[in-house]
Amino acid sequence: MEYDVAVIGAGPAGASAARNAALKGLSVVVIEKQAVPRMKPCAGLISNKALQELDFDLPEELTAQKIKGVKLVDRDFHGFTEKTSRVIGRTVKRSEFDAYLTEKAREAGAEVKDSTRLINFREENQRILLDTSQGQIKARFLVGADGVYSRTAKISGIRKKWKRWDLGFTLYTDLPLEEPVESIDPEVAELHCVSYPFSLGWLFHHESYLNIGIGTSKLVDKKSIKVFHQWLDRLCQQKNIPLGEYKTQGYYLPAGGFKRTITGGRVYLVGDAAGFVDSFSGEGIYFALKSGRFIAEEIARGMEQNRIEQIGLRYTNKCYQDFLKEFRLSLAVAIFLGKKVVPFQFVRYNPFLVHSIVNIMENTGGYGTMLKEIGLKFPQMVTRVAQGKFGAQKL
Ligand SMILES: Cc1cc2nc3c(=O)[nH]c(=O)nc-3n(C[C@H](O)[C@H](O)[C@H](O)COP(=O)(O)OP(=O)(O)OC[C@H]3O[C@@H](n4cnc5c(N)ncnc54)[C@H](O)[C@@H]3O)c2cc1C
């Protein structure tokens, strides 16, 4: 059988591309190397803007914790919380969330072959011939949704290797919760300024554990393990969280903010494979879902109009018009907030920063507004920091 579209990877990007393409009447096969449900290292916070990208509701039982607010904390553990009456995101177990998305792709008509690894492919007579661990597959178009280490990107030659500044680095641990911790509001996602370049810490509440980690850049990944352990020790002391033996996990993820080639011939990259991750927050699921939908729309349009050669260009334009500006601004914020001592102190005296993050999670504002406000309020911010230092009333 020859498929219209073969999708490599059953993460959010692959599941979204597959579902949207199948809903448009295309024949689709998804090839996933692991057995579904599969484990995915992640902090598991799904913002409302990501949930709004879905054309179905997420079942309640997949939510570990409803998130209604954000707390931005400086390196001295002074923070500012904005809590709303709305649900602005949810924490989920990625294995369950991704398996549900894959099931929705299957329900729309996509065939899912899990425990099947893409080994190689070549383009021949306007067809892609794929060699997988379970035999050969033929398709007219190939969507590489195979994550940060995308084999599709390598084989196609779209990207042989990431450059050092293209990658972020994350370290995290899951701390089991035997009883509620008084100093933590489960409905509030905490973001911490960590005193290390490009770094941001997080603490997200799941049903029976806390996911605590830091995101930084590959440029400075060498010392980051020490930084993480020291920060985690201080955090747990501050919050009275018992810290016994814990397991630290480290993973790379792409950093958005750079314009990269994401297509080649009949091959298109989506999600992490394309480098679509917000550098400040580390959010990637929203962009994975959206780029998956975009490629499905463009393949269907190209086939309908018999303008196959336009698919790659239209897809690239659509993604970069939608994400690039925000990615660049978020990179600027990551550099500004995640660097040295003075900007950290802005956090506790300037509630608008945390308000901007709530807006970003709900898609009612972006990094542009945040940076504009920083620019406008800069003199006032500096005054507040100075007053704070000399004992004036703190917010
Ligand atoms: C520690 C950490 C925490 C994060 N926290 C968050 C968060 O809280 N919120 C958020 O929005 N984002 C978060 N992210 C980012 C988010 O996880 C990714 O952006 C998102 O998973 C990208 O989805 P994807 O579908 O592109 O890739 P993936 O989810 O990585 O899926 C790729 C799939 O391709 C499969 N695959 C790979 N190679 C092959 C092959 N050769 N053949 C067949 N299949 C293959 C893999 O098995 C995998 O299932 C985090 C990332 C990390 C590392």
130 and 43 Cβ atoms separated by less than 8 Å: no
307-311, 364-368, 373-377: which range is least confident on average? Answer: 373-377
Q: Which range (135-144, 210-219, 305-314) has the least confidence? A: 210-219
pLDDT band at 394 (very low <50, low <70, confident <90, very high): very low
Q: How far is the CA of 172 from the centre of ligand 1 (A)?
A: 15
Residues 317 and 172 occupy one common structural domain: no
CA atoms of 3 and 161, how far apart (whole Å): 29
d(CA 367, CA 310): 31
pTM of the model: 0.95
Q: Give the mean model confidence (pLDDT) for residues 107-117.
A: 98
**Helix or strand run (H / E) with residue 143:** strand 135-144
The answer, yes or no, to whether any atom of ligand 1 lies below 6 A from the CB of 361, is no
57-98: pLDDT as tens digits? 999 999 999 999 999 888 788 888 999 999 999 999 999 999
Ligand 1, atom 30: closest residue by C-alpha? 147
- Nearest-CA residue for ligand 1 atom 10 is 283
For the stretch 221-235, pLDDT in tens is: 888 999 999 999 999
Contact criterion met (CB below 8 Å) for 323 and 288: no
Q: Does residue 81 lie within any of the structural domains?
A: no
The residues with which 131 forms a beta bridge, in sequence order, are 120, 136
Whether 128 and 144 map to the same domain: the answer is yes
- The answer to whether residue 395 sits within a structural domain is no
Amino acid at 174: D
Placement of tokens 């949930």 in the chain: 51
List the CATH number of the domain containing 210: 3.30.9.10
CATH code for the domain in which residue 296 is found: 3.50.50.60
Q: Establish whether residue 66 lines the binding site of ligand 1, counting it when its CB lies within 6 angstroms of any ligand atom.
A: no
Whether residue 345 is predicted with pLDDT greater than 70 in this model: the reply is no
CB 184 within 8 A of CB 211: no
136 to 26, 150, 153: CA distances (angstroms): 20, 19, 19
**Is any ligand 1 atom within 6 A of the Cβ of residue 11?**
yes
What confidence score (pLDDT) does residue 346 get?
A: 64
Structure tokens given for 138: 């033929």
CA-nearest residue for atom 2, ligand 1, is: 42
Is the C-beta atom of 44 inside 6 A of ligand 1? Answer: yes
Residue 75 lies in a domain: no
Do 136 and 18 lie in one domain? The reply is yes
What amino acid occupies position 271? G
Is residue 248 situated within a structural domain? yes
Question: Residues 246, 377: one domain?
Answer: no
Pair (268, 375) in one structural domain: no
- Could you tell me if 177 and 126 lie in one domain? no
Q: Give me the mean pLDDT over the 299-305 stretch.
A: 98
Together in a domain, 105 and 201? no
State the greatest distance between any 2 C-alpha atoms of the chain, in Å, as a whole number.
Answer: 74
| Residue 109 covered by a domain | yes
pLDDT at 348 over 80: no
Say if residue 179 is in the same domain as residue 241.
Answer: yes
In a domain, 242, yes or no: yes
- Among 81, 70, 77, smallest CA distance to 357 is for 70
Q: Which amino acid is at 236?
A: C
One-letter identity of residue 226: K
Q: Does residue 51 line the site of ligand 1, with CB under 6 A?
A: no
Query: Do 115 and 57 lie in a common domain?
Result: yes
The CA distance from 37 to 177, in Å, is: 24
* Domain limit, last residue, from 305, 331, 357: 331
Q: What is the pLDDT of residues 36-63, one digit of tens each?
A: 999 999 999 999 999 999 999 999 999 9
- Give me ligand 1 centre to Cα 10, in Å: 9
In a domain, 262, yes or no: yes
Give me the mean pLDDT over the 17-41 stretch: 97
Quickly state the pLDDT bin for 393 (edges 50, 70, 90): very low
Range of the domain at 376: 339-389
**How many CA atoms are closer than 13 Å to the CA of 233, on its beta-carbon side?**
6
Check pLDDT > 70 for residue 347: no
Question: Among 285, 313, 331, which residue terminates a domain?
Answer: 331
Chain-centre distance of CA 66, in angstroms?
18
**CA 64 to CA 185: how far, in whole Å?**
14
CA distance 365 to 329: 12
Q: How far is Cα 10 from Cα 78, in angstroms, rounded to an integer? A: 40
Atom index in ligand 1 nearest the CA of residue 14 equals 25
In this structure, the answer to whether residues 49 and 115 fall within a common structural domain is: yes
Q: What is the pLDDT of residue 339?
A: 56
Structural domain count, the chain: 3
On average, the pLDDT of the chain sits at 92
* Between 198 and 265, the higher pLDDT residue: 265
Please name the residue ranges forming H helices in the chain: 12-23, 48-53, 94-107, 151-156, 224-239, 285-304, 311-337, 341-349, 352-362, 367-389
Q: Given this model, what pLDDT does residue 388 score? A: 63
Residues 140 and 174 in one domain: no
Q: Are residues 123 and 237 in the same domain?
A: no
Q: Would you call 41 helix, strand, or coil by DSSP? A: coil
Residue at a domain's end among 254, 269, 304:
254
Query: What mean pLDDT comes out for the span 369-393?
Result: 70
Cβ of 144 less than 6 Å from ligand 1: no
Residue 208 belongs to some domain of the structure: yes
DSSP code of residue 239: H
